[in-house]
Amino acid sequence: MRAKQVAILVLILIGGAAAGTGAAVAYYVNRATAIPTWYNSSTADSTLTESLNHSGQSLLQTKLASGEGVNYEGHSRVTISLTEAELTQVITEGLSQHSQASRLLQATPGIQASINGNQIMGGVVVNPADLPIQDLPPQAQRAVEQAFKTVPMLGDRPVYIGIEGSPRIDNGRLVLSDDTRVQIGRINLTVADLSRLTGISPAQINDHLNLTLTQTGITLDGIEFMNGEAVLRGVAR
């Protein structure tokens, strides 16, 4: 899922809600722009900059070379344990390898992955005013411009966009579980809801998520979450 597309959807939804009463506008704006407790703009900027400035080997390649957090099972098979902070770095590194996603990260003041039981939640905080609205079709541009005009505060308020679920690895690709939820502030959507609203198919969402798995140094065939860590299984390349 591209955060740009979902953030633009947020603007359109809020702009539409603004046609209602003042109380309704405030309700949707407050829910859609609610920011998670982990987000702190100065800390997030520093952490994200460090990840984007990372050069040379990726975190997974470094762990494979050093053996830290790696269990070797023979025939090049390995398991790699990642803390939440390391998982966040892996996601950021993967996205930064792709030009369009990398440009989006430049407008992203915060990104974080967390693990709760057997589920993972990954999300970004974006500034809607910094998104490349000019790349949209004319109809979508007008809708976003109307949203900013109707609710000017949207240009000054960051928006959190997250995805939560229990993904699996299928033929080396990350696949979303049926219980996956997309979170925009405090508004929750199913993947089917998101597809209906944006026209982005579940397959396209999976494609966007798999940007994070490129250049990892390992061909994955399994992933699980335990004891607050992500455990990746596969064959080292």
Residue 44 lies in a domain: yes
Return the biggest CA–CA distance within the chain.
64
Residue 196 lies in a domain: yes
Residue 115 lies in a domain: yes
Q: Which residues constitute the domain of residue 58?
A: 35-126+160-236
Amino acid at the residue 92: T
Pick from 27, 26, 20, 16: nearest CA to 149: 16
Confidence (pLDDT) at 66 = 86
Residue 80 lies in a domain: yes
- Count structural domains, the chain: 1
Confidence (pLDDT) at 46 = 46
Contact indicator for 15, 151 with CB cutoff of 8 Å: yes
Which residues of the chain fall below pLDDT 50? 1, 17-21, 42, 46-47, 49, 52-53, 55
Spatial CB neighbours of 29, under 8 Å, sequence gap ≥ 6: 14, 17, 151, 153, 154, 157
Confidence (pLDDT) at 5 = 55
Predicted TM-score (pTM) of the model is 0.74
